[in-house]
Amino acid sequence: MEKVDGIGGLFFRSADPADLADWYERHLGVKKTPDSYDEKSWWQETGPTVFAPFEAETDYFDVAKQWMVNFRVSDMDAMVTQLTAAGIEVTVAAETYPNGRFAHLLDPEGNKIELWEPSGNDLKP
């Protein structure tokens, strides 16, 4: 069976797409969509990706939002320090789970972002 190789894009509506793209690039290092085919897109590090539909009424993220993105990070403490230094509130989960550590924050439009620092076991295919 053929299968997809990973996520090729994440597309969502925004009240101010240019400003929000700048925020993601400035604070999380997610490069903006190129203006031409001569420029390169943002490239992810190789690693696990979870694809998980949630119940429509989940309270894991705002019921008024249709999506939540989870970004893998290699150093949660460094990322949290960087974000809080920029005035961004980050909540780090008190518990470390078998698959790693998690933290949550909101982008300027109130979209929930989950950061995930995988444990060693989740780095293998």
The domain that contains 83 carries what CATH number?
Answer: 3.10.180.10
Number of domains in the chain: 1
Establish if 33 belongs to a structural domain.
Answer: no
Judge whether 23 lies within some domain: no
Question: What is the domain range of residue 81?
Answer: 63-125
pTM score: 0.83
Domain assignment present for 86: yes
* Closest residue by Cα to residue 72 from 41, 106, 29, 32: 29
Q: Report the alpha-carbon distance of residue 83 to residue 88 in Å, rounded.
A: 5
Per-residue pLDDT of the chain (125 residues; tens, 9 = 90+): 767 677 878 888 899 999 999 999 999 999 999 888 888 888 888 888 888 898 888 888 888 888 889 999 999 999 999 999 999 999 999 999 988 899 999 999 999 999 999 886 655 55
* Amino acid type, 9: G
Contact 105, 113 (CB under 8 A): yes
What does the alpha-carbon distance between residue 66 and residue 56 come to, in Å, rounded to a whole number?
A: 9
